[in-house]
A and B are shown apart, each in its own frame.
Chain A
Amino acid sequence: MNARTAPDLLQAAAAAPAHHLSNAHLDALEEETIFILREVAAAFERPALLFSGGKDSLVMLCCAEKAFGAGRIPYPLLMIDTGHNFPEVTDFRDQRAAELKAELIVRSVEDSMARGTVRLAHPGESRNVHQSVTLLEAIEEFRFDALIGGARRDEEKARAKERIFSHRDSFGQWQPKSQRPELWTLFNTRLAPGEHFRVFPISNWTELDVWQYIEREGIALPSIYYAHERAVVERRGLLVPVTPLTPPKDGETVENRTVRFRTVGDITCTCPVESRAATPGEIVIETLAADVSERGATRMDDKTSEASMEKRKRDGYF
């Protein structure tokens, strides 16, 4: 189930840089994203940009810097912290926020657990799904009326159907049956009190576009996106990282493998893929060669049910 690592392919990548692949469409994607980021700044009173330190949110931040000028992003960055994040990513998040002179708001699932608004079924349960509760609490606390997120429509079936400006009711719920039609670029941003919008400026980007853009713009990423040695166990076709939160089970063999993360989230449900790709250009080649989707290769929590993402979104998840 891992992304294929073909030695001859990586040799080819080393011999001929990947920017020979057409990237003419990136200008139009960037321009669309910037247009949407400005629309949010203009149409809403209290927007925030969800920022995890992951590749999609770093692409959005790069566009936001172009949209508003260096150090002038007009909304705070919001991170919902499960407490189960890779330290390389949270360190990088803090560093980027400081460089951008952006206000960084962190709200944590552990605080919601302390308040009693989040109850885990068992201590080892993934906290990923419980982020929705903490997120809705943050929305209420700061009275946010628009939350910008880095979701892409190519990630998953439910996202393929979601609007760029996605209306949420006062419970934060997505109502797929009554989405507002998006005609031309006339975005209907009207809200009733207590409601908010989720806005997805990189809806039309694919995983390949993101890596081509990272390469073109020289965007710095947390180190775990590139090949590194990591202790893992093989479980149900996935490579599970060995961490204090995800220890090996009885009978599993711990191995050191050269891996990278295609997607980064909660430690308890994010798996790396085997890879020797050390640069964005090499990852572009691997992405072209990959025969398993980003989520199929890496996310444990999405595999439980084909519609699990749709269900979570309806409960207020991103």
Chain B
Amino acid sequence: MNTIESIASRAYPESANSQKDTQTALRFITCGSVDDGKSTLIGRLLVDSKAVLQDHLAGVTRGGEADLALLTDGLQAEREQGITIDVAYRYFNTESRKFIIGDAPGHEQYTRNMVTAASQADAAVVLVDATKLDWQNAQLPLLPQTRRHALLLKLLRVPSVVFAINKLDAVAQPELAYQHIRGALQAFTASAGMAPAAIVPVSALKGWNVVDFGHEQAGWCGYSGPTLLEILERLPVTPRETALPLAFPVQWVEKFSSSSDTSQGRRVFWGRVATGHIAPGTPVQVLPGGQQAEVAQVLDHARRPGGIGAGHSAGVVLDREVDVSRGDWIVAAPAASDAADDDFDTPASAPAWPPVRELSATVAWMDDEPLVAGRVYWALHGHRWVKAKVRRVVHRLDIHTLAEEAATQLEPNAIGHVELVLQEPIPATPFARSRVLGSLILVDTASHKTAGAVLIETAPAKPL
């Protein structure tokens, strides 16, 4: 299956030098129900990009014909018992990029699986099954699941959304169908405030426009843009939140006292920069203690000195002895306020990330036990564990439209709005502003199960 020429061209791409060190792995998810051809599409991406090895391909070949959908078929337990285990991860690479597919099953426990996979995704491919749509109609309605997928991706801030219109090989007038469905997707995404990265016609079964065009299919459906794989090769990874003030959750405190190495003299605080940038000389404040200090030294993840931006691991040494533990946050020092001294309503300095104890949030509920008002859960924010009480379930969201409906509890796979009260203040901010500061998980105090994904909407109007 691999010719020497193709191997050599993959090992020594002409463009390798110009592309070197400019692209990292792209994590993407595929959204679609089983019948939409999701498994076939993933199988096609893996096979046509030569990521499937002969022993694996032989395992899914029946009567000389490979059933691509079986490549992503699940575990024995899933097949035997008909249960669904959420996300599986699959890997392939082209000469220019490594890809990680978060493959969430499309049927049961849909919301939970999709939220889990999407939380780490740079991009999503939403499959639209042309054969299920009234494609001759220029004003055709989309399927509810397409709208649901898109709205969930928007809620979770997945940066790039690609619509792949599948099974166009099975309709009588593929060009007309592509035009009409594309128009419906454009109208819907515009009304939802989304900008799709691409809308591409594909046949996962035949392999058209997925990895290769196939010579006789050039210009198929009147489409002359890049193939799905070419689109994925060019998509950006999730943008780093570097433009915001510094926030750094402390993951691990390295002490030198227990070692003979006294050359460092101080403790190093390790973690991943959530927002902003950290460099020697940066004035900082430690939360929740409130102490102020200056950054004396910064190390990268592998202990080389340098300034570090959001998204990357760093080791931070402060210029004075300050009480800092795992779970604390090192944030930009408060900025001096412009307010006059006699303005009693304005504090003398404004914290970059004001700690809050009350939150209004969107929750995707994952546990089998429903979320009920009044219960106390563990919450993990950055590396800090705090107790969180659900004060009120405000709404449940219709997952097809995200319209609000009355509710007093959230069932498994439901999404809703809740009010939370925390035992200790945390530097939280809306998820729409920062993914790291704006997200937390809820954990059941009895079973220790991860019960909910929380997207912070707003801090309360009046601070406690």
Contacts and interface: CB of A to CB of B under 8 A. Distances in A.
B16 interface: yes
B116 A160 contact: no
B177 interface: no
B295 interface: no
Contacts, number: 194
A206 B91 contact: yes
Interface in B54-77: 54-56, 59, 74-77
Given A35-B251, A190-B448, A293-B53, A6 B4 contact: yes
Interface string A186-230: 101011100000000001101011000000000000000000000
Given A69-B261, A160-B90, A296-B53, A9 B7 contact: yes
Interface string A149-161: 0000110011011
B141 to A, nearest CB: 32
A186 B439 contact: yes
A195 B97 CA distance: 39
A188 B443 contact: yes
A10 to B, nearest CB: 11
Interface residues of B, number: 75
A12 B55 contact: no
A179 B88 contact: no
Contact of A154 (B91, B115, B119): B91
B11 A18 contact: yes
Contact of A177 (B2, B77, B272): B77
Interface string B262-282: 000000001010000000000
A115 interface: no
A279 B100 CA distance: 27
A202 B250 CA distance: 22
A28 B24 contact: yes
Nearest to A208: B93
Interface stretch (B79-87, B200-208, B339-347, B402-410): B79-87
Nearest to A153: B89
B252 A179 contact: no
B89 A188 contact: no
B59 to A, nearest CB: 7
A129 interface: no
Contact of B450 (A161, A183, A204, A285): A183
A38 interface: yes
B464 interface: no
A235 to B, nearest CB: 16
Interface string B1-14: 11010011011110
Interface in A295-318: 296-297, 306-307, 310-311
B439 A42 contact: no
A31 B59 CA distance: 35
Given A69-B303, A153-B89, A179-B86, 8 more contacts: A22-B23, A22-B97, A25-B98, A28-B25, A177-B77, A177-B85, A188-B448, A296-B54
Interface of B: 1-2, 4, 7-8, 10-13, 16-17, 19-25, 53-56, 59, 74-77, 83, 85-91, 93, 95-98, 100, 112, 115-116, 119-120, 251-254, 259, 261, 270, 272, 301-303, 312-313, 326, 366, 378, 380-381, 383, 435-436, 439-441, 443, 448-450, 453
6 contacts: A22-B96, A180-B450, A184-B119, A184-B436, A184-B439, A293-B56
